Every structure is written in C-alpha cells, then in structure tokens.
Chain A
C-alpha cells in the first residue's frame, strides 16, 4: 500500500467517517499505549529497542505479556509462542475481515490485517454489519486505522521517553479497561449477545488460572456455544408460538 494510494484515500468522505468513529475510543487506546510504553522501559528495555518494538509490533497485549520474558532473557521461541497465544483472537477476527477484503490484492490484505486491531474491528463491524464488500470500506478502514495508530503510537512513544517521570500509581491501565468496556456495551445488541457475554465473562474468570491467556480462547468457545444455543432456543420458541397461533385459528 504505497503512500500515494493512502493519500488518495484521504479524499474519500468515508475516510473522514473512519477517523471520526475512532475518536470515541482514542482516549482509552492512548491510555493503554502510554502504559505499554512506560512498562517497556521500566522493565529495563533500552529506549531505542522500545521505540522499535512499539512501531514494528503494534500489539499492546502481546507486548505487555512478553516484557517480563524479554527482561529475563527468555528463549526466543517462548517469547514468540507467548505472543502468538495472546494474539490468537486476531486470527478469529481475520476470518471476518476476509468477508470484506478478500477481493483485494494480497499486499493490501496483509497491510489491512497488520493495521487492524480490537477497536477498529468493533467500529468497522458496527458501520458495516453485513459481511459483504462495498466500495467505501477501504477508505473507511484506513481512516479508522490511521487514527487508531496515531492514538496508540504517540502516547506509547511519549511514555517510553517519559518513563522515568510518569509514576506507575496513576493506574492508567484502569482507563484502558473502561474504554474496552464502553466498546463492549455498544456491541450488546440482542439478548443472545447478552447471554454470550455473560457466559464468556464467567468462563474467562473461571479459567483465569490457565497460563498464556488461553482463558480468552476458552471464553470465546463458550460464548460461541452460548450464542448459538440461544439462537436455536429462540427459533424453537418462535416456532412453538407460531404453531400455537395456527392451532387457535383452526379451533375457531
């Protein structure tokens, strides 16, 4: 994706929509970015390695999970495996991205994948709830991706340089949790989703002891099962209601 093409995207009105839609979560994203930047340097990482990691890896939860591993010089395969496990939810998201962008050339698909994240995923799914391609999706995506990238990288790199000055007691991680909570609440559209959320939350908490954040995968599996279960239960109930109404009509 050359810079020329990116510059052309900015002219499309959907680009500005993408930028605007990501404003809401920008504060939470920035808080997380700042926390991650500070954490990297506080663990003993050199400033330049931290900047390189922030710009290249661009994955907050993965970065946070491997910081202690790098600090003690853990074997590289452990570092990479841990990051892969933490990033597994993105693998699932990518199957949804596919529905919109599969027709694009490979390099664009890779670029889109790389710059996508939890927050962009949610915003995009809300804007385009039907899993089919449309022409304004690409500029919308890049508008959203640009804002999200800036909202993350600027505070993260600032945090890296200010690490000695910012006290960790500020609890900025809490702000990040609040942002994700806001995003979650906007996703809860129907009862099946509420039930799935409840099941997922309990499963995640119950499985907390499982290392490498695999409890997130357990929660995902539980949520999928619960959602499908609710859907079939609702369908069954609707069929029952229809049958009852049909019988009443006959009885008259």
Chain B
C-alpha cells in the first residue's frame, strides 16, 4: 500500500469514528446528563 492510499484509508477510519460518535453521542454515557426543562422542549425544534 503506497502513501496515498494509506492516507485515504486512515481518513475513512477516522471518519467512521466521527459518524459513530456524532450519531450516538448522547447515548454513550450511562447516566442521564442534567438538562434544564426549557432546553429539552427547545430541542424539539432543532430538526
């Protein structure tokens, strides 16, 4: 494997981690993170 394809390969590995962490972020910690009620309601509008 030459340098170029190693770059691409490592890039994709990192990107996969980025996808996983971003999408599962708030589900990773076991305990509920404290969030004020207004923030919970407000997040409904985020999408």
Q: In chain A between 92 and 127, which residues have their CB closer than 8 angstroms to a CB of chain B?
A: 92-98, 101-102, 106, 109-110, 112-114, 116-118, 121-122, 125
Note all chain B residues with C-beta closer than 8 A to A112.
24, 27
Interface residue? A90 (CB, 8 A): yes
Contact with A along B1-32 (1 / 0, CB 8 A): 00001011111111110111011111110101
Q: Contact check: which of A58, A95, A193, A196 meets B26 at CB < 8 Å?
A: A95
The count of chain A contact residues (Cβ–Cβ below 8 Å) is: 58
In the complex, A157 Cα to B6 Cα: how many Å? 21
Note all chain B residues with C-beta closer than 8 A to A125.
47
Contact with B along A189-231 (1 / 0, CB 8 A): 0001100100010000000000000000000100111111001
Q: Contact check: which of A45, A62, A121, A227 meets B15 at CB < 8 Å?
A: A62
Q: Contact check: which of B12, B26, B27, B41 meets A53 at CB < 8 Å?
A: B12
Interface residue? A79 (CB, 8 A): yes
In the complex, A122 Cα to B41 Cα: how many Å? 17
**Interface stretch (choices A31-39, A81-89, A162-170):** A81-89
Question: Taking each of B19, B44, B45, B46, which has the highest tally of chain A beta carbons within 10 Å of its own beta carbon?
Answer: B45
Decide if A91 touches B22 in the complex (CB within 8 Å): yes
Note all chain B residues with C-beta closer than 8 A to A122.
47
The count of chain B contact residues (Cβ–Cβ below 8 Å) is: 32
Question: Taking each of A45, A49, A63, which has the highest tally of chain B beta carbons within 10 Å of its own beta carbon?
Answer: A49
Note all chain B residues with C-beta closer than 8 A to A73.
7
Decide if A46 touches B8 in the complex (CB within 8 Å): yes
In the complex, A35 Cα to B8 Cα: how many Å? 20
Interface residue? B34 (CB, 8 A): no
Interface residue? A52 (CB, 8 A): yes
Decide if B14 touches A90 in the complex (CB within 8 Å): no
Give the Cβ gap from A107 to chain B, nearest Cβ, in Å: 11
Interface residue? A70 (CB, 8 A): yes
Decide if A90 touches B23 in the complex (CB within 8 Å): yes
Q: Contact check: which of B8, B12, B43 meets A96 at CB < 8 Å?
A: B43
In the complex, A80 Cα to B11 Cα: how many Å? 8
Question: Taking each of B5, B8, B24, which has the highest tally of chain A beta carbons within 10 Å of its own beta carbon?
Answer: B24
Q: Contact check: which of B5, B16, B26, B30 meets A57 at CB < 8 Å?
A: B16
Question: Taking each of B8, B12, B20, B27, which has the highest tally of chain A beta carbons within 10 Å of its own beta carbon?
Answer: B27
Decide if A62 touches B42 in the complex (CB within 8 Å): no
